[in-house]
Amino acid sequence: MSDAQSLYAPNWLTRPDHPAELNRTIWTDSFQRNHGGELTIDGIAASELVEEFDTPQYVFSEDTFRARARGYRRAFEDAFARYGAQASVYYAGKSFLCTAVARWAHEEGLCLDTASGGELAIALRAQVPGQNIALHGNNKSYDEIKRAIKHGVGRVVVDSIDELKLITDVYAELCAESVAEGLEPYPAVPVLIRITPGVHASTHESIATAHEDQKFGMSLQPGTARLAGLEADELEYWSTTEDESYAMLAAGILAVTDSLEFRGIHCHIGSQIFEAQGFEQAADTALTFMHAVNQKYGLSLLELDLGGGYGIGYTEADTPRSIEQITVSIADAVAATCERLGMTIPHMSFEPGRSISGPSGVTLYTVGTIKNVSIEDEHGQIRVRRYVSVDGGMSDNARPVLYDADYTVTLANRAPVGEQVLSRVVGKHCESGDIVVRYCYLPADLQAGDILAVPATGAYCYVLGSNYNYLSRPPVIATSAGEAAHPIIRRQSEDEMLALDTGF
């Protein structure tokens, strides 16, 4: 790549010798090109999808989702079975959730991780059994906790001592109501406490969640128990002192609270992470703390959840590990730590979200205006960058503006042959930062009306979407080989979008 090119493109971007080829680090086998060079998703041509459902639209491959969900479940089960241990997989619904996806995850043997009352409502509407659902969140409301208890949610991941108190209060109220009606009281609420393992994951700061200075988890640092604001006699009642960690104080409270079933520990280091070391370090830290809790309070905690965060391919620069590499390396690290500590491997749980849903999705756009912009480089030479505008943008994919996320793109309605031109795909919003694909090569003969496909948009695109500039929300269209494409979330109409405006 020349010096001039490097001004306008990152070093990882290469001019494609075979632009019709689909990089299998990014595109799963659900995405192919037919004999005419057109992109197909589970055998359905992009032009057919656009003719029926218009653009922009998210296309979500049920086949890819199910294969990756099944792959994670089997791989984790097999990796830990080598050590005589068991593992469960919770699909992290925050990456993308609707009733169809919740059912697919459940049918593939996965549990479901929810992070709000709304996500919990979707899981319940999809008839996922309560015991197969987890409830996360750093600020759960009274109503969210009440719903979780009433529906027998299998575990609540507790993020603070204040939350422990709130759950205890809600539980007491519900049991009093139940007894007053002549019914049995509710069983103790199963909880995990979320710790902050202090692992600095190699990812964007906004999606790194294991360092001290952020909102999630309970600190393991000695002396942080004093941050709970309890008096000395209260600390003594919970068998701890100010010299202990905040997380150990929470464990002490749980050890003697009958209304809460202390099942184990949870930690999560972040998202879109490629290296194995962070996960292995987190496992060592969490297990060491778990062992200390067992020893101090005479417990035998049953479960450790190590979260998710496994990276996927968005561009040719990304190097995601295979499902097998991820699961085997984590199982080996857990087994080695447990052997060092002299403890039995607990029931292990994991929460892949993006790495299941992300590769399942692609967004289809229609090209509108195309503009060449002149830029003067450091040598005083005039260079050209081509801007390709599409009919969506930051309202359907906020990740580029939120996280400086990079994507790739391909021409979908025909083969991208001939000369390839360095381009930037942008949206139609009234923002200069409304960039869909920052750096890419697209055919020189690209024209208005062509269809572009942006892969790996199955995670954190629809769920982060908005009505910015009053664009209505696109549909999510499900595909499966041999089946007709159909909406699992329909397109929002303009009337629906404006219905919240009381003056409309």
Catalytic residue numbers read 430
- Annotated ligand binding at 491? The verdict is no
- Annotated ligand binding at 137? The verdict is no
- Cβ atoms of 359 and 312 within 8 Å: the answer is yes
- Annotated ligand binding at 66? The verdict is no
- Annotated ligand binding at 403? The verdict is yes
- Annotated ligand binding at 351? The verdict is yes
- Distance, CA of 188 to chain centre: 29
Largest interatomic CA distance in the chain = 85
User: SS3 for 461?
Assistant: coil
In the block, which residue shows the tokens 């009433």? 150
- Annotated ligand binding at 470? The verdict is no
- Helices (H) then strands (E): counts for the chain: 14, 21
- Annotated ligand binding at 399? The verdict is yes
List the one residue out of 143, 144, 145, 187 whose CA is nearest residue 164. Answer: 145
Long-range residue pairs from 441-444, CB within 8 A, at least 24 positions apart, any chain: 441/13, 441/15, 441/16, 441/19, 442/386, 442/388, 442/409, 442/411, 442/416, 443/19, 443/411, 443/416, 443/417, 443/418, 443/419, 444/418, 444/419, 444/420
Rounded Cα–Cα distance for residues 215 and 178 (Å): 35
List the one residue out of 117, 78, 129 whose CA is nearest residue 331. Answer: 78
Rounded Cα–Cα distance for residues 102 and 62 (Å): 12
Structural element, H or E, at residue 249: helix 246-255
Burial of 501 (0-12, 13-18, 19+ CB in 10 A): exposed
* DSSP state string for 59-91: EEEHHHHHHHHHHHHHHHHHHHHTTT--EEEEE
Rounded Cα–Cα distance for residues 494 and 470 (Å): 8
Rounded Cα–Cα distance for residues 362 and 267 (Å): 30
Total Cβ atoms within 10 A of residue 199: 24
Rounded Cα–Cα distance for residues 141 and 158 (Å): 12
What amino acid is encoded at 296 in this protein?
Answer: K
Residues tagged in the binding site annotation for substrate: 354, 399, 403, 431, 460
Residues tagged in the binding site annotation for pyridoxal 5'-phosphate: 309, 351-354, 460
